[in-house]
């Protein structure tokens, strides 16, 4: 990237920071903030956790499909969060089962970062073999055990329009760190995204504004 491009990128990020700060409404009173949870937050809401403040730029919906019927059988949500302090974008997912669970994406990986349990490199053609066999993927020396795989639909922005088809392979450590391989199908072509994520306690999230108005 050239010096001019870097300068333009810096100005753009600075403008985005100022805009996010300017649009932030008066925060909820302190005694009300923990009455709300992340599932109350819509696009335009503001959150604070781990010393940073975030604007929810987009709230999207995933629907897991029943393997037998193909019907949507459960759902979880993704928040695209803009960090006001440095204009970084991170992704948070939440799901309610018996209780609210929150995960933060920490790293985006590629297949070159992964190995099987014998130390051999893997790619997308090895996924079904691993699920049926060792059920382990290794990343940077850490073993992630197979948990589940399933088809899903992605509704960007939570809208009910035409969804995007995906297939997920979930792996995790005993300590709760997750590794997810996402297989996306667009126009009959497949692409892959791989993420590490960690759990975040719902109590750690302070809702400053629920947004959506």
pLDDT at 137: 97
Domain regions of the chain by residue span: 3-209
Question: Which helix (H) or strand (E) element contains residue 60?
Answer: strand 52-65
Distance CA(206)–CA(143), nearest Å, equals: 33
Question: Which helix (H) or strand (E) element contains residue 142?
Answer: strand 142-155
**Is residue 170 within 8 Å of 182, Cβ to Cβ?**
no
Query: Tens digit of pLDDT per residue, the chain (213 long)?
Result: 556 665 777 777 788 888 888 888 888 988 888 889 999 999 999 999 999 999 999 999 999 999 889 899 999 999 999 999 999 999 999 999 889 999 999 999 999 999 999 999 999 999 999 999 989 999 999 999 999 999 999 999 987 778 999 999 999 999 999 999 999 988 889 999 999 999 999 999 999 999 986
Largest CA distance in the chain: 55
Residue 76's CB is within 10 A of a number of other CB atoms, namely 17
DSSP code at position 121: B
**Residue 68 to residues 65, 72, 158, 165, 183: CA-CA distances in angstroms?**
9, 11, 25, 16, 20
Per-residue pLDDT of 31-90, as tens digits, reads 888 889 999 999 999 999 999 999 999 999 999 999 889 899 999 999 999 999 999 999
pLDDT at 5: 62
CA-angle at 87, arms to 83 and 89, nearest 5°:
65
Distance CA(79)–CA(143), nearest Å, equals: 28
Residue 166: closest CA among 184, 142, 186? 184
Distance CA(115)–CA(117), nearest Å, equals: 7
Question: Positive or negative CA dihedral for 198, 92, 108, 24?
Answer: negative
pLDDT at 209: 96
The pTM (predicted TM-score) of the whole model is: 0.89
Q: Which residues make beta-bridge pairs with 185? A: 165, 190
């Amino acid at each position: 990237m050239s010096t001019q491009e870097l300068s333009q990128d810096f100005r753009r990020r600075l403008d985005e920071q100022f805009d996010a700060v300017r649009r932030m409404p008066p925060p909820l009173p302190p005694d009300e903030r923990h009455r709300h949870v992340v599932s109350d937050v819509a696009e335009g809401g503001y959150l604070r956790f781990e010393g940073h403040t975030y604007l929810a730029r987009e709230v999207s919906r995933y629907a897991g499909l029943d393997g037998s019927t193909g019907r949507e059988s459960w759902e979880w949500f993704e928040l695209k969060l803009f960090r006001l302090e440095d204009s970084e974008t991170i992704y948070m997912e939440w799901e309610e089962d018996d209780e609210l669970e929150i995960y933060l994406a920490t790293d985006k990986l590629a297949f070159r970062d992964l190995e099987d349990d014998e130390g051999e490199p893997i790619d997308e053609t090895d996924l079904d073999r691993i699920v049926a066999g060792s059920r382990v993927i290794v990343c940077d020396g850490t073993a992630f055990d197979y948990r589940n795989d399933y088809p899903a639909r992605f509704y960007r922005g939570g809208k009910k329009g035409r969804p995007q088809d995906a297939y997920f392979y979930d792996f995790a450590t005993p300590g709760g760190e997750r590794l997810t391989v996402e297989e996306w199908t667009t126009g009959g072509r497949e692409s892959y995204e791989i993420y590490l994520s960690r759990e975040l306690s719902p109590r750690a999230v302070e809702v400053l504004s629920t947004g959506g108005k």
